[in-house]
Structure 1
Amino acid sequence: MSMTGIYGPTDPHEAAATLLEALDSGVTLFDTGDFYGDGANEELLGRTLAPHRDRVVLATKTGVRRTAEGLAPAGSPNELRHACEASLRRLRTDHLDLYYLARIDPAVPVEESVGALADLVAQGKVCHIGLSEVSAATLRCAHAIHPISAVQTEYSLWERHVEIDMDTT
């Protein structure tokens, strides 16, 4: 995320060199989001990693769009289909290994959003579905529609809600 100006100026050549050094050092999972730099981060990864696609696992997030007021959830099936096509173009690949719904759109039932992602799996455009920042109840609803392979959530010394929310039994 920070390689495309989220936290300040960056050097695209240095960013690409860093990605390639990571790959040469054994890093295989590259995780980005279509809203990181309004797609610029995916473009960087696409330009840099496309020649090495057989050696990398690409994960990207969607479900957030920029508005005049800031970031807003965008989880309608139509938005998710269009976002996937755009990510595939920017990442210069024919499939995403892991596609995350970054935020649940309160205006769209999670079952509809996950159903649209499941359609992308059926079409071969996505291999696995992930969710970010979801409750245990939402995860259960989503998983009932299609297997959820990964969950991302904030977890730190200051943020421990996941320990309370997730049932580990």
Structure 2
Amino acid sequence: MACRRLASRWPYAWPKTTASLSPRHGALPSSESLRDIINATCTKYGMEEALIMAVVRAESNFNPRAVSPKGARGLMQLMPATARELGVTNSLDPAENIDGGVRYLKWLLGVFDNDTELALAAYNAGPTKVRRYKGIPPYRETKTYVKRVLRFYEHYAAG
């Protein structure tokens, strides 16, 4: 299956043990369970696994406990307000985070007429900024982010 082939091309190996991890958030999921989550969520919402894997890699490098300096959390780095709007109650839960992030990206693709670059720019900078600039905002971070995700996307799609 394409998703299995794509998911096997992860940028690093997941730990074999999670014994040293804080019990506060539970054990990290195995790479196999993350593959299953991504596959099931992409199938559920009709999204391309390669694109979601590219976003996850760019956002968190597949770290379900990633927290940015701005407060974005989890695999798809959902901001708290966005997570609340999406009904995500625990952004550090891989299944909830991926579900919310995939739904949000799918919505952005709809808003921006399936223009992947604009949807990715909106995922990074917010849809208001993309609308204001009528395209990718002139922020170095956003321009770099879009290019990076597209590069990862090509990599996973070629898998």
Bin the TM-score by the shorter chain: under 0.3
Which is richer in strand? 1
TM-score, normalised to structure 2's length?
Answer: 0.24
TM-score w.r.t. length of structure 1: 0.23
Structure showing greater relative contact order (alpha-carbon pairs closer than 8 Å, 6 or more residues apart): 2
Question: Larger % of helix: which?
Answer: 2
Find the structure with the greater CA-based Rg.
1
